[in-house]
Amino acid sequence: MANLMTSENPILRLRGFEIHKMKCSSEVQQAILLDLREIVQKAPMFTPEMVGGRKMSVRMTSAGDVGWYSDVAGYRYMAAHPSGKAWPNIPNRLLDLWAAVSGCDRAPDSCLINFYGEGARMGMHQDLDEADKSFPVVSLSLGDEGLFRMGGVTKGGKTDAIWLTSGDVVVMGGDARLAWHGVDKIRFGSSRLLPKAGRINVTMRVAR
């Protein structure tokens, strides 16, 4: 397996968020993309509803022991895909990435995969559905650039934003673990990783 990073890759720290620029090489990105396609074959992507009834603009699926799910009844983790089938295992390449950047010994039990098509976005939110908030959240960007916005632990107030490119990894731990964050927009067609363009965000966490 190719190295996940070289010593030249910078690490940025903004509002407690740790941003590893180009953590994954092009070769590793391609390999992870093949892993994700296998997951989607077993657990097809779906478009979840929010509590208010509106459909999200992203499509998603999961891997691991549990997967994140949303409908009018609320946000939660579920042990099975909406089809009733168990979620696929988290690929070893992603587990290696978690081990390289998370700073904790426990492996993730949930891996959320979001696909952003043209015009898709993710509103500002906190990650609150996990049983133990002491574990970090590790997020990998693949494909088109996305404008990632970061706030504080209370809603509203000053925010900062940075364009995430394919191969970037964000670690949300410590002071940033409960910070508000979201994706304002993507630069559709800015990457050649996905043949039909779009952005994939892979988020690993300890959910239970």
Query: Residue 159: inside a domain, yes or no?
Result: yes
In this predicted structure, what is the pLDDT of residue 4? Answer: 47
Query: How many domains does the chain divide into?
Result: 1
Query: Residue 6: inside a domain, yes or no?
Result: no
In this predicted structure, what is the pLDDT of residue 5? Answer: 46
Phi-psi sector, 190: left (phi>0), alpha (psi -120 to 50), beta = alpha
- Nearest alpha-carbon partner for 204 in 100, 75, 56: 100
Query: Residue 33: inside a domain, yes or no?
Result: yes
User: Domain residues for 192?
Assistant: 11-205
In this predicted structure, what is the pLDDT of residue 8? Answer: 62
In this predicted structure, what is the pLDDT of residue 35? Answer: 98
Query: Residue 96: inside a domain, yes or no?
Result: yes
Query: Residue 22: inside a domain, yes or no?
Result: yes
User: What CATH number is attached to the domain comprising 76?
Assistant: 2.60.120.590
Query: Residue 74: inside a domain, yes or no?
Result: yes
In this predicted structure, what is the pLDDT of residue 53? Answer: 83
> With contact defined as beta carbons under 8 Å apart, do 181 and 172 qualify?
yes
Distance of CA 179 to the CA centre of its chain: 15
In this predicted structure, what is the pLDDT of residue 51? Answer: 84
Query: Residue 2: inside a domain, yes or no?
Result: no
In this predicted structure, what is the pLDDT of residue 73? Answer: 87
Q: What percent of the chain has pLDDT over 90?
A: 88
Please, what are the averages of pLDDT over each run of 10 residues along the chain (208 residues)?
52 95 96 98 94 91 96 92 96 97 96 98 95 96 98 94 98 96 97 96 97
What residue type is assigned to position 183 of the chain? V
